[in-house]
Structure 1
Amino acid sequence: MADGRLIALAALALTGCTVAGTAQPSPDPGLVAAYFNDLDSAAAQGEQQEQKFLTATQVPAFADRVCDLNGVTITAMPTLSTLRADPGWSPPGSDKRLSGQVYVVAVTLTIRQGNSVVGTQIGSQRVVIDHGHAYSFAPCPAQ
């Protein structure tokens, strides 16, 4: 990546596991698409607005794990045709159970510093739908 920035995204490129035989509700692509639209709208307003959005939509059980964006904004383009249930997944190294339904979707991320693109990344992002609200995991740019 440009400027030597390495973006470590906690919610991306993580291997999920599924539970065979466990029925999961069909994902609501509308809620997931709205999450990413809102993320991109916040990024368009600047780092502070995106930071507020990421804090407000962090999976509640992991509210203490929101990182500072460290001078960048991040936009995400999900490929909704890849959206699928990911039951049984939890962040690596955590024994916390997630409430709600966990879904995974392929995304293309664009990382900007000011008006300059400093990197792109393709990976998988988890979105948790709980009581009609979409939550996710805030990315953590490397220091």
Structure 2
Amino acid sequence: MARVRHVAVAVAALAVAGCTTAVAGSPVAIGSAAEDRKLVTDYFAELNDAGKEGPTTQRDFLRRTQHPDFSDRLCDLGELTLRIEPAMSTFRTDFNWAPENAGKPPRGLVYVLGVSVSIRRDGASIAEQIGSQRVVVLDGKAYGFTPCPTR
């Protein structure tokens, strides 16, 4: 009886093996939601740290972290700095979002979350806004889209 069971298991394993299909290419692991969440949290912490150092440092940070597909869409913040506080409890994917006039979503995994933005000049707060911001995780790095102040 045990021999029959072993043969049945072997036959079942061969049957399943015969149903597999090879897929061309190399598998690429993607980060977990927890890893992406940390990347996004770190993105905002670094943005705020850069803002503490002044407009030039923050502009540099925003230029380096602008999504590579949209590196030509930087806004000039002039002498303004931003302090952005993310509401991580609102962190979620946004598969269908695309930047204005882009036609398609950016490469990577797009996340959206609520944020509180403090706009500063010479260290003094001149405006506060609450809204949504997108951050894209692409190849293990968080990228943003430089916000453009409305005048």
When normalised by structure 2's length, the TM-score is 0.75
Shift of 1:93: 2.1
Where structure 1 has 5 or more consecutive residues not aligned to the other structure, the ranges are 1-24
In the TM superposition, 1:54-133 aligns within 5 A as 54-133=62-141
Aligned residues: 119
Where structure 2 has 5 or more consecutive residues not aligned to the other structure, the ranges are 1-31
Q: Which stretch shows the higher mean deviation, 31-40 or 63-72?
A: 63-72
The answer to whether the 8 A contact 1:26-1:85 is kept is no
RMSD of equivalent CA atoms: 1.4
Higher helix proportion (structure 1 or 2)? 2
Q: What per-residue deviation string (whole Å, max 9, x for no partner) do you get for residues 90-124 of structure 1?
A: 01222244111000011000000002110010000
The answer to whether the 8 A contact 2:99-2:105 is kept is no
Structure 1 counterpart of 2:66, one-letter code:
Q
Structure with max Cα Rg:
2
The runs of 4+ residues in structure 1 deviating greater than 2 Å are 25-28
Aligned to 2:15: none
**Structure 2 SS opposite 1:64:** coil
Higher strand proportion (structure 1 or 2)? 1
Whole-angstrom CA distance in 1 between matches of 2:76 and 2:70: 15
When normalised by structure 1's length, the TM-score is 0.79
- Percent of paired sites with the same residue: 42
